Structure 1
Amino acid sequence: MITPRISPLNRRRWAWLALCAILAMVAGRQLMQRLWSDPVIVLQMGGPYEYMEAHSTASFSAWGRGSHDVSGGIPKSDARLRFIDPQYGFETPLARFFTVTFIRNLVADIRMSPQIEPLLIDDAMKVVVDLQAQWCAKGWKPIGARRNPTMADSPEWRAYVKQPPLSGRSYWQAGEKYQALLILRRFRDSRYPDQERYLITLAIAEPWLQFEEDERRFEPHHSPPPQPKKGATPCPSQPS
């Protein structure tokens, strides 16, 4: 029996077809991954705008670039924040309010509400507790905790934030690199007049507060937030 021989031209043609098929599969998988996954804004504090643009899956609307030292922008759709750092990285839920400030094209601060609408207390507490757990696991430490202890999903905390204008407020620091402020407060939503809804605010920047000095000059809190029970603190540095 004579085995037909494949000419070099046919070999190259088949190799080209196989390569095209592989590339089509990879492109299709990436496209479907974007469709399946939530849009993400990927940011490095102090990183360039171009890094965010290259790594994010959500489109971004920027203003002031190229003509001002300070510029800013917002995602064009609801998007998660993926905060990139080898040690301190974390990720938020989808956010609708999400702003980024750039100084000379570098990320200077992030302000967002990690939710797409005001939430019921059960859902709001899940977001707050999850963010704090991520920070604890990645080495962030609560700071200023004598006056602003970290929040917990407890009857005491639920009763506290239920009373406007009181709010839960915790500060966190990642080494000498970043600070974060997390706020939980009740929010009157006209769409749900018979429901208690809550708004979460998150701000991240380079360290801007020195709490050892600040806490000495603070007046006593007129309505102090719940203090953690002994042994129930989320991170070792929190005072009992």
Structure 2
Amino acid sequence: MTKTRTNKLRWWAAGLILGLAAMWGMYVKAGPADEVVLTIGESYQQVREQSRSTLPALTSDNTINLYVRRPAVLRFSDPQYGFVTPTAKLLSLYADQDGKVTQLTLSPQLETLPLEDAMSIVVKLQDQLRRAHWRPILTADHPPIADTPTMRANIRTGADPQTFWLAGNKYQVSLDIRRLKHESRPNDERYLIALQLSGPPLMTDQPAS
């Protein structure tokens, strides 16, 4: 095989790989997003069957941290208290000894975000909770996160506000937003949201004064 023909084959192979990569990228963008569908208390196996996701099989070694390997939307499917999150790169479920889902933790974003974008996600999630009849609790010390100049200033200084919500006597959610600081980039403002969802035992509201 001549050197010229070898070079042509290399260029052809490289072009084919790039073309396939571009086609795959278009397919991923055009295709439906992964989705984890669940309610607290369902069997983990049922969650896997009704979801379109990369959740792993349940074994005796991994009941604590069952995480997706590809970003996915969470659809909390309780008929009364349901809500949907933006696509989460970090989404992890926890199952008990009976294989039932007891808790989940997620960060409803694909990367750390500017404060403007992070606040928008948090406010919209809280609006969903309100519409689905969740109620905020412990509001004296942990009020719902509001997009105000004061709240933004507090978050920028590391206040890390956290808010708590109850759905009847069935579920609870904690939601917070915090700034991530990089030692090498102290002026780079990036923010991370964390949402935790679980069932009983539930937190209780503060007693009336």
When residues 190 and 123 of structure 1 are mapped into structure 2, their CA distance, relative to the original with a 3 A threshold, is farther
1:55 is displaced (CA, Å) by 1.6
How many residues align? The count is: 181
Q: Which amino acid aligns with 2:51?
A: S
CA distance change for structure 1 residues 141 and 98 in 2, over 3 Å: closer, same or farther? Answer: same
2:70 is matched by which residue type in structure 1? Answer: S
2:143 is aligned with 1:149: yes
Cα separation, partners in 2 of 1:72 and 1:185, compared to 1, 3 Å: closer
**1:44 to partner: Cα distance:** 1.3
CA distance in 2, matches of 1:36, 1:46: 30
Aligned residue among 137, 140, 150 for 2:134:
140
Match for residue 212 of structure 1?
Answer: 206
Counterpart amino acid of residue 36 in structure 1: G
* 2:82 is the counterpart of 1:89: yes
Would the aligned equivalents of 1:62 and 1:74 in 2 still touch at CA under 8 Å? no
Structure 1 residues 62, 191: closer, same or farther in 2, change over 3 A? Answer: farther
Query: 1:186 matched to which residue of 2?
Result: 179
CA drift at 1:210: 1.7
How do 1:1-240 residues align onto structure 2 when only pairs under 5 Å count?
A: 36-63=31-58, 65=59, 67=60, 70-103=63-96, 104-164=98-158, 166-189=159-182, 194-207=187-200, 208-212=202-206
* Kept in 2: contact 1:44–1:84 (CA 8 A): yes
What percent of counterpart residues are identical? 33
**Amino acid in the other structure paired with 1:134:** Q
Deviations 1:162-211 (A, max 9, x none): 102x1111000000000000011111257965421111111010143223
Q: Which amino acid aligns with 1:125?
A: M
- Is the deviation greater in 203-212 or in 116-125? 203-212
One-letter amino acid matched to 2:48: E
Question: Which runs of 5 or more residues in structure 2 are unaligned?
Answer: 1-26
> Cα distance, 1:38 vs. partner?
1.5
**Deviation of the 1:52 alpha carbon:** 1.2
SS of the equivalent of 1:46 reads coil
Post-superposition, which runs of at least 4 consecutive aligned residues in structure 1 deviate over 4 A? 32-35, 68-71, 189-193
- Mapped to 1, the partners of 2:171 and 2:78 lie a distance apart of 11
Contact 1:182 1:202 in 2 (8 A): yes
* Aligned-pair Cα RMSD in Å: 2.4
Bigger CA radius of gyration:
1
TM-score by length of 2: 0.78
How far apart, CA to CA, are the structure 1 residues paired with 2:178 and 2:156? Answer: 8
Structure 2 CA distance for aligned equivalents of residues 138 and 189 of structure 1:
37
1:191–1:108 distance in 2 versus 1, CA, 3 Å: farther
